[in-house]
Homo-oligomer: A and B are copies of this chain.
Amino acid sequence: MPSIDKPNTDAYNLATERGMALLETAATQVEAWLDQWPGWDLLPKHLASAGRYGVLGGGKRLRPSLVLAACEACGGNRTDAMPAAAALELVHCFSLVHDDLPALDDDALRRGRPTLHVHAGEPMAILAGDLLLTQAFQVLGSANWPSDVRAELMRMLADGTVQMVAGQVYDTLGGLPDTIDPIEQLRLVHNCKTGALIKSAVLMGAKVAQANEDTMQVLTHYGDAIGLMFQVVDDLLDVTQSEAHIGKAVGKDAAKGRPNWPDVLGTEASGLEVNRLLQLAVESIEPLQANGRALHDLALTMAVRTR
């Protein structure tokens, strides 16, 4: 898999079709895993219900897909990686629940449904967000892996989540270093806000398969590229798509004066940046050869997504 296929060729379209299928399969599997997870039974009913509302019932499940694909790319077993996939999704959903709060993004719509604070009230949304974040570590902590894998995955998840919180602070409260230019600033915000957890997903999947250091290095480059690419695509969708289409509020970046790629680079150059990052991602996993196919397909699919 030496380079990406040209858009709209048969090979390209086949790859994105395979990528869509990977996302759908992972979504079904992680939804079922989280739905049946016994951790909910330990909780007050209304808290369990709010937590489940926050994490079940939709979402692209991109991070779980990456966990599973990375684990398989490194020779690991998909079933073994399920707790890592679930933990990543728990953290991602915690961040959505808190970011949607009135004091932060004040969003009423998420995945085409009322956000958790609209559905269950603000006090419950704060506490259920705290719950989902903690449950992610609970899931990793009781996974059936060697203890060094368990410990390492928890460390990786914590590091990625701290960066994500830092990115959210930059994005909503500013404070970016003014010694770097606007493009570098944007890269910093988005590497933290979105990239860190996407990269953690890739590396955690690989770690479940006990990948060697060389492979971890390869996947670090891949994770860096797709993490940033995901956010550039997201920013483009925010200016080009309708709210009904993507199931959440749009045009928010402009409305809130937040830095975003189309504003800083222009729409066309942002599209070129997506292509550049995709190329980087695809090239980075060449050493994995045929084992990297799922990661290749997911990268292509992330680049062309429309919601």
Contacts and interface: CB of A to CB of B under 8 A. Distances in A.
A169 B125 CA distance: 11
A232 B166 CA distance: 38
Contacts of A16: none
A199 interface: no
Contacts of A140: 154
Interface string A241-271: 0000000000000000000000000000000
B134 A168 contact: no
Contact of A134 (B101, B124, B158): B158
Contacts of A166: 42-44, 47, 131
Chain A, interface size category, equals 35 or more
Interface stretch (A20-28, A144-152, A211-219): A144-152
Interface of A is mostly: helix
A162 B175 contact: no
Contact of A135 (B46, B162, B175): B162
A6 interface: no
A155 interface: yes
How many monomers of this chain does the complex have? 2
Contacts of A134: 133, 158, 161-162, 165
A103 interface: yes
A68 B168 CA distance: 35
A156 to B, nearest CB: 8
B151 A147 contact: yes
13 contacts: A44-B166, A44-B175, A44-B176, A46-B175, A127-B165, A129-B130, A131-B165, A134-B165, A138-B158, A140-B154, A147-B150, A148-B151, A150-B151
Interface of A: 39, 42-47, 94, 98, 101, 103-104, 121-124, 126-127, 129-131, 133-135, 137-138, 140-142, 147-148, 150-152, 154-155, 157-159, 161-163, 165-166, 168-170, 172-173, 175-176
Given A104-B127, A140-B154, 12 more contacts: A39-B162, A42-B166, A44-B176, A46-B173, A94-B130, A127-B169, A134-B158, A135-B162, A137-B154, A138-B162, A142-B155, A147-B151
